[in-house]
Structure 1
């Protein structure tokens, strides 16, 4: 037997945004952006900074393949 639904006491309005976000929904993306911007500005602080020679080797191999 299907359950009866209750009608809404007032119609749903579509005008205006009535959604409120919690504080962390804006703070976490902003914090991530600042951290990534800091890593771009000073990449020597990153833990994977020692991988730069590997990138240079890959680019050198790509250059050699393209010049053949």
Structure 2
């Protein structure tokens, strides 16, 4: 016979919890918890949008050099 697990209830009010069966938990985020990911995404998107202005953009891509080195190593 399985053992019964007691259910926990949280007090509603200033503690931020909810009672069992009320439909969900409401959490408030500070402003920086939303602003920092948005700023990071924007910065990375701008770097991807204008790669031609990067200092090493005219050089051979590193990925093709790695693939060429792997091909050379395997064929030996």
Q: Which TM-score band applies after superposition, normalised by the shorter structure?
A: 0.5 to 0.7
Among 22, 33, 42, the residue aligned to 1:25: 33
Instruction: Report how many aligned residue pairs link the two structures.
Output: 56
TM-score of the two chains, using structure 2 as the length reference: 0.50
| Gapped regions of structure 1 (runs ≥ 5) | 1-9
1:1-68 matches, cutoff 5 A: 10=11, 12-14=18-20, 15-46=23-54, 49-50=55-56, 53=60, 55=62, 56-66=64-74, 68=75
CA RMSD of aligned residues (A): 2.8
TM-score of the two chains, using structure 1 as the length reference: 0.54
Deviations 1:33-57 (A, max 9, x none): 11111111112445xx438547143
| Gapped regions of structure 2 (runs ≥ 5) | 1-10, 13-17
**Residue 13 (structure 1) shift:** 1.2
